[in-house]
Amino acid sequence: MTVDLDSTDKAVAATTTAQIGRYLDDRGHAKFREAAELAAGLSNVFVRVVWDRALRPRPWLDVLAPDAVIPEWRWGLLAAATVWRELEPQTDAQQVWRLLEYHTPGTIEYGVYRGTFGDLGTRMELADHEETADLAKRTDSNGRQNTRVDRLLVSHLPNVLPNRVWDGIPAAAPLGRSDYAGIEPVMDALDESWTSWMRDLRLGKARLLLPQSMLDSAGPGTGGTFDLDKELLVELNMLDAEGAAKSISEVQFKIRVEEHERTTKALRLQILSSAGYSAQGFGEAGTVAVTATEVAARKEESLTTRGLKILYQRPALLETLTTMMHVDVVHCGAKGVDPAAELTASWPQAVQPDPEATARTLSLLDSAGAISTFMKVKMREPAWDDAEVLAEVRRIRDDKTQEIPAGDPFNTGGGGPNEEQPDDDVEPGFDEGQSEELDEEEAVGGGSRPALAA
């Protein structure tokens, strides 16, 4: 999450971005993940901005299931919402107490109702129930609370749109579509296949058929028993011994493992594909791919679904965080936060590229002179913005233009690094090789020669 610099000054943008990072801590990410998981199965979800300085110094999110909110739409957008929940029963267990919160921009109206399981009932005072007694302290005589924030505190996060079943119902069309929509019959078939497989396991248990003569009688009218650990059995001599069963026989039905496994696997693949996910992500097809390109190819359906969900949930995310900034400034006393600043949300790459493959690509492009330093850094870190990339480019150029440290790193004495220098023990004007050669000549001829200039 970043702040658009065109909407505010640089210093306020930095402090606002830092505060948004505090909203999106581990708890914030966990709440958004919870909302996304509920939306995937239930077609949509609602999030509510709440605050209580006695618990936390800044506002946080409360995830609401779609069946706990009665929305009101205006041109396809959420204009108002009624949030309801059941309270703890009082003395009469047949009575049902409910709390209703009617959210409009700038106002929340609370109402406590006592009724039955199928009827809302009569409106009561907030102080009549122990769970809502504290609400009476911060509301007026009509149960209204002024939020001092001219925004709706409830946001709607749809899964994907449109809904094939509710498209013709204006009050339900914006609710979104579940990942399970249209594949319920296939999921029923999978359940039936697993049930049949488990039935084969139950029927396939080995059973023993024993002749009655092998049972140990417990007395007249009390039945008989057989010791499975008994190792020695004595055959009985009977008149009809030839026609009677004299031995223990085994009965065990076949367990159709391969047939059930192929059936359930085919149904799982059909369910995943219909829901918009790749089987590779669920360990259903092949082994793990080696390169990022192969991973992206095998997970193409999941990546497409991911991009579609981001498209629908990004506006709700920006709207929710903007509402949190307004509440933080008004009720929590946040400093340096500009609620009017425009926000931008970006997601990391779903499949991270192979660093070695990226390095080879950059090396080839650099050898061909077809890429700038800015683009090399941008390809290496796609998640960075232009300011971060430019800062890295400047650091790279500073490293290349850094001056050679003072001193003589090659010990050249002012000459070139490849020139041979005289040894410290040799007389100036001679190099070491020449002095050895002159000594040999003097030993042979006995003469002396003038010194040679270096």
DSSP states of 61-76 as a string? EEEE-GGGEEEEEETT
Asked if 226 and 216 count as a contact pair (C-beta separation under 8 A), the reply is: yes
Q: At what angle do helices 373-380 and 355-367 cross, to 10 degrees?
A: 170
pLDDT tens, per residue, the chain with 454 residues: 889 888 888 899 999 999 999 999 999 999 999 999 999 999 999 999 999 999 999 999 999 999 999 999 999 899 999 999 999 988 777 899 999 999 999 999 999 999 998 999 999 999 999 999 999 888 998 899 999 999 999 999 999 988 888 878 888 889 999 999 989 999 999 999 999 999 999 988 888 787 777 788 777 777 788 877 777 766 665 555 555 555 777 777 888 999 999 999 999 999 998 888 888 777 765 545 555 555 555 667 788 888 889 999 999 999 999 999 999 999 999 999 999 999 999 887 766 667 787 888 889 998 999 999 999 998 888 778 888 899 999 999 888 887 555 555 565 555 555 555 555 554 544 444 444 444 444 444 444 444 444 4
What are 94's two structure tokens?
């047949």
> CB neighbours (10 Å) of residue 329?
17
3-class secondary structure, 311: helix
Those residues with Cβ within 8 angstroms of residue 130's Cβ, 6 or more apart along the chain or in another chain: 88
For position 436, what pLDDT does the model report?
Answer: 46
Helix (H) or strand (E) holding 45: strand 44-50
For position 258, what pLDDT does the model report?
Answer: 93
Burial group, residue 128, by CB count within 10 angstroms (0-12, 13-18, 19+) = middle
Q: Is 287 left (phi over 0), alpha (psi -120 to 50) or beta?
A: beta
Q: What type of residue is 332?
A: C
3-class secondary structure, 437: helix
Q: What is the DSSP letter of 170?
A: T
3-class secondary structure, 113: strand
CA-based radius of gyration for the chain: 41
What are 398's two structure tokens?
């500073």
For position 166, what pLDDT does the model report?
Answer: 83
DSSP assignment string, 115-153: E-SS---EEE-GGGSTTSGGGGGSS-TTSEEE-S-SS-S
What are 44's two structure tokens?
């949509």
Give the Cα separation of 330 and 150 in Å (integer). Answer: 11
For position 46, what pLDDT does the model report?
Answer: 97
Counting runs of H as helices and runs of E as strands, what totals does the chain give? Answer: 10, 15
Q: Which ranges in 204-256 belong to alpha helices (H)? A: none
Report CA-CA distances (Å) from 404 to 397, 408, 412. 15, 9, 14
Give the Cα separation of 215 and 212 in Å (integer). Answer: 6
Q: Model-level pTM greater than 0.85?
A: no
